Amino acid sequence: MWQVQRHKEYRQKILHLYKPLHQDLYSMHPSAFFLPTFLEAVRTNTEESLASIMTEPTPGVFSFAMLQPNFCDMLLEEVENFEKWVHAMKFKIMRPNTMNKYGAVLDDFGLEAMLNQFMEGFIAPISKVFYPEVGGGTLDSHHAFVVEYGKDRDVELGFHVDDSEVTLNVCLGKQFSGGELYFRGIRCENHVNSETQHEEMYDYCHVPGRAVLHRGRHRHGARPTTSGLRMNLLLWCRSSVFREMKKYQKDFSSWCGECQREKKERQIQCVKATKLAFLRGGGGGMI
Ligand SMILES: O=C(O)CCC(=O)C(=O)O
Ligand SMILES: [Fe+2]
């Protein structure tokens, strides 16, 4: 509990002392942040309009052009400015999670309210349509951060699942090679280490301004960024309703690849047993 309190105090101190570089980032300006194609699709808000701007290269992974280049640049500059300030102030910077030595939590320096609107207005409508079975329709909190990969930064990211129901991952730039995101199937907690089926393997190449949306339980990792600097915006979107409901469930075959496989296998065995019983019962003569 004291950690939560300390983090609260840390945020309060930053909010009080840090002077933003780009004040425009701190409130929502849809047409300055998002590409017109993306805005139009979200404003129309039908399954057809959303599907029309997306590709789904492997089941459950959606990719679409999302952010204005100028927004990406401003966010990168803001993060750099914040990091410089933290360094000059001899503050301790909190990294996005245990897997990263670099990067910054955007919610820590004043961007929380804007990013909440970002999630509610622009991610929730998509999640509601494409991820209803993992709480996509009831997202109510987030963890937002920027990761930094390159020679003098984090190099790669190990195989993991996110602490989110739905994750938005958008490349902000700058120039880099490598850093592909690899996916290995969706798994519940019980099956997180189960083997990958061949058709679950998929590699995605990041493109600045382009978003990837996936379930938090979709196992993934990032390959080494071999040159240049790669910075990505991550928005881990959570649903407290889904988390509460999950406590009372055992079967996740509506989204876990391994629960699905086991269920199918049980059905095959059941059909086999029924056939055998039918044949043994003399019903075989009827065929
Ligand atoms: O670097 C990437 O694109 C992946 C980042 C990621 O998966 C994470 O931070 O949870
Ligand atoms: Fe991740």
Residue with tokens 């929502």: 28
| 187 within 8 A of 257, measured Cβ to Cβ | yes
pTM comes to 0.94
Classify residue 6 as exposed, middle or buried by CB count within 10 Å of its CB (0-12, 13-18, 19+). exposed
* Å from CA of 157 to ligand 1 middle: 7
Give the pLDDT score at 3: 84
Residues 119 and 235 in one domain: yes
Residues 87 and 210 in one domain: yes
Residues 241 and 267 in one domain: no
Beta strands in the chain (DSSP E): 55-58, 61-65, 104-105, 141-150, 157-160, 166-173, 176-178, 181-186, 201-204, 210-215, 218-222, 225-238
CATH, residue 237: 2.60.120.620
54 lines ligand 1 (CB under 6 A): no
d(CA 251, CA 149) in angstroms, rounded, equals 37
* Å from CA of 170 to ligand 2 middle: 12
* Å from CA of 239 to ligand 1 middle: 20
231 lines ligand 1 (CB under 6 A): no
Give the pLDDT score at 174: 95
Q: Mark 200-216 as b/e (b = at least 16 C-beta within 10 Å).
A: bebebebebbbbbbbbb
Give the pLDDT score at 285: 53
Residues 208 and 246 in one domain: yes
Residues 109 and 220 in one domain: yes
For the chain, 287 residues long, the average pLDDT of each consecutive 10-residue run is: 86 95 98 98 98 98 98 98 95 87 94 98 98 98 97 92 98 97 98 97 98 98 97 98 96 97 95 92 59
171 lines ligand 1 (CB under 6 A): no
| 179 within 8 A of 250, measured Cβ to Cβ | no
d(CA 186, CA 216) in angstroms, rounded, equals 8
Q: Closest ligand 1 atom, CA of 169?
A: 3
Q: Which residue has its alpha carbon closest to ligand 1 atom 5?
A: 222
Q: Which ligand is nearest to the CA of 211?
A: 1
| 33 within 8 A of 63, measured Cβ to Cβ | no
Give the pLDDT score at 204: 98
Q: What is the DSSP letter of 116?
A: H
Residues 171 and 223 in one domain: yes
* Å from CA of 169 to ligand 2 middle: 8
Structural domain boundaries, residue 81: 2-254
Q: Which two tokens stand for residue 46?
A: 């039908």
Q: Closest ligand 1 atom, CA of 96?
A: 9
Q: Which residue has its alpha carbon closest to ligand 1 atom 1?
A: 222
Q: Which residue has its alpha carbon closest to ligand 1 atom 7?
A: 221
Cis peptide before 13 (omega within 30 of 0): no
Residue with tokens 């240049």: 228
Residues 141 and 239 in one domain: yes
* Å from CA of 141 to ligand 1 middle: 19
169 lines ligand 1 (CB under 6 A): yes
* Å from CA of 235 to ligand 2 middle: 10
d(CA 1, CA 4) in angstroms, rounded, equals 5
Residues 231 and 262 in one domain: no
The total of structural domains in the chain comes to 2
d(CA 85, CA 198) in angstroms, rounded, equals 47
Residues 240 and 265 in one domain: no
Give the pLDDT score at 100: 86
Residues 144 and 113 in one domain: yes
